[in-house]
Amino acid sequence: MQVPNTGSRPGEETRAPINWRLGKAVLTNHPRLAQGAKYLFQRLRSWLQRPWLWLLLWAGGLMLLNAPQQSLMAYDEGYYAQQARWMLENNDWITVGWWGTPVFDRTIGAQWLIALSYHWFGISEGAARLPSMVASLGAIFLTWRIGTRLLPPTAGLWGAAILTVMPLWMHSTKLATQDMLLVFLELLAIWALLHSEDHPHQRLGWGMVAGMALSLGFLAKSVMIVLPAIALLPYLIRGHKTHHHLTNLGLYYGLLFGAIPSVIWLERSVARYGSLPLKQLFEKVILLAQAGSESATTATFKSTTTFTYYLWHIPATTFPWALFALVGAWLLGRHPLVGRRTLWLGYPAVLLLLLSLFDTRTWYYSLQLYPFIALLAAVGLDHVGRLYRSRAPRRYRVAVGLSWAIGVLALLLISAALALLLTPGELISADIRPYGWLGLLGGLGWLMPWFMGLYRQGRISSTQQKLWQWGWLLGPWLAIAAAFSTGLWGNYNPDLKAALASEPIAPILANNAIHIIQPGGDRDTILLTFYTPHLGKPLADWSQIPSEHYAWGNGQQVPLPPDSGYEIIATLGDWQLVRAPLIPAMIPKG
- The predicted pLDDT at position 524 comes to 92
Nearest CA among 183, 270, 253, 174 for reference residue 221: 183
- The predicted pLDDT at position 467 comes to 92
Domain residue limits at 566: 495-579
- The predicted pLDDT at position 38 comes to 63
Residue 466: inside a domain, yes or no?
yes
Nearest CA among 53, 129, 55, 115 for reference residue 484: 129
Average of per-residue pLDDT across 389-414:
91
> Do 479 and 506 have their domain in common?
no
DSSP, res 512: S
Residue 590: inside a domain, yes or no?
no
> Do 545 and 422 have their domain in common?
no
Nearest CA among 285, 283, 379 for reference residue 334: 379
Residue ending a domain, choose from 357, 382, 407: 382
Can you say whether residue 260 is alpha, beta or left, with left for phi > 0 and alpha for psi between -120 and 50 degrees?
alpha
What is the percent of the chain with per-residue pLDDT over 70, rounded to a whole number?
87
Lowest-confidence region among 8-22, 324-338, 420-434, 499-513: 8-22
- The predicted pLDDT at position 441 comes to 96
pLDDT exceeds cutoff 80 at 70: yes
pLDDT exceeds cutoff 50 at 291: no
- Please report, in angstroms and rounded to a whole number, the separation of the first and last CA atoms in the chain: 112
- The predicted pLDDT at position 189 comes to 97
- The predicted pLDDT at position 587 comes to 47
> Do 411 and 364 have their domain in common?
no
Residue 187 and residue 208: Cα distance in Å, rounded? 14
Residue 58: inside a domain, yes or no?
no
Residue 14: inside a domain, yes or no?
no
Average of per-residue pLDDT across 414-419:
95
Average of per-residue pLDDT across 406-424:
94
Cα separations in angstroms, 566 against 149, 514, 551, 583 = 69, 15, 11, 10
Question: At 302, which helix (H) or strand (E)?
Answer: strand 302-303
> Do 237 and 357 have their domain in common?
yes
Average of per-residue pLDDT across 163-183:
96
> Do 368 and 500 have their domain in common?
no
> Do 486 and 509 have their domain in common?
no
Residue 370: inside a domain, yes or no?
yes
> Do 402 and 506 have their domain in common?
no
Angle among Cα 124, 63, 323 to the nearest 5 degrees reads 135
pTM of the model: 0.89
Residue 408: inside a domain, yes or no?
yes
User: What phi and psi values does residue 321 have, to the nearest 5 degrees?
Assistant: -70, -30
Question: Per-residue confidence at 11, pLDDT binned at 50, 70, 90?
Answer: very low
Residue ending a domain, choose from 347, 382, 417: 382
Residue 52: inside a domain, yes or no?
no
> Do 169 and 145 have their domain in common?
yes
Question: Per-residue confidence at 410, pLDDT binned at 50, 70, 90?
Answer: very high
> Do 171 and 292 have their domain in common?
yes
- The predicted pLDDT at position 564 comes to 77
Residue 130 and residue 462: Cα distance in Å, rounded? 38
Question: Per-residue confidence at 48, pLDDT binned at 50, 70, 90?
Answer: low
Residue 165 in 3-state DSSP?
A: coil
Looking at the 3D structure of the chain, how many domains does it have?
A: 3
> Do 344 and 404 have their domain in common?
no
DSSP, res 342: I
* 521-577 tens-digit pLDDT: 889 999 999 999 999 999 999 989 999 999 999 988 988 888 778 899 999 999 999
- Pairing relationship of beta strands 302-303 and 361-362 according to DSSP bridges: antiparallel
> Do 524 and 402 have their domain in common?
no
Q: Which amino acid is at 429?
A: S
Residue 10: inside a domain, yes or no?
no
Lowest-confidence region among 148-152, 376-380, 404-408: 148-152
- The predicted pLDDT at position 69 comes to 93
Residue ending a domain, choose from 382, 403, 419: 382
pLDDT exceeds cutoff 70 at 28: no
Average of per-residue pLDDT across 263-280:
93
Residue 45 and residue 22: Cα distance in Å, rounded? 25
- Positive or negative, the Cα torsion across 469, 54, 152, 465? positive
For the chain, what is the mean pLDDT? 87
**Which has more pLDDT, 457 or 443?**
443
Task: Give the number of other Cβ atoms within 10 Å of residue 230's Cβ.
Answer: 13
Average of per-residue pLDDT across 47-56:
83
Task: Give the 3-state secondary structure of 365-394.
Answer: HHHHHHHHHHHHHHHHHHHHHHHHHCCCHH
- Under a CB-based contact definition with an 8 Å cutoff, are residues 415 and 385 in contact? no
Compute the radius of gyration of the chain from its Cα atoms.
29
Q: Which amino acid is at 493?
A: N
Lowest-confidence region among 88-102, 337-351, 574-588: 574-588
pLDDT exceeds cutoff 50 at 6: no
* 467-503 tens-digit pLDDT: 999 999 999 999 999 999 999 999 999 999 999 999 9
Helix spans in 423-581 (H):
435-454, 462-486, 494-500, 505-511, 523-530
Average of per-residue pLDDT across 21-49:
62
> Do 350 and 410 have their domain in common?
no
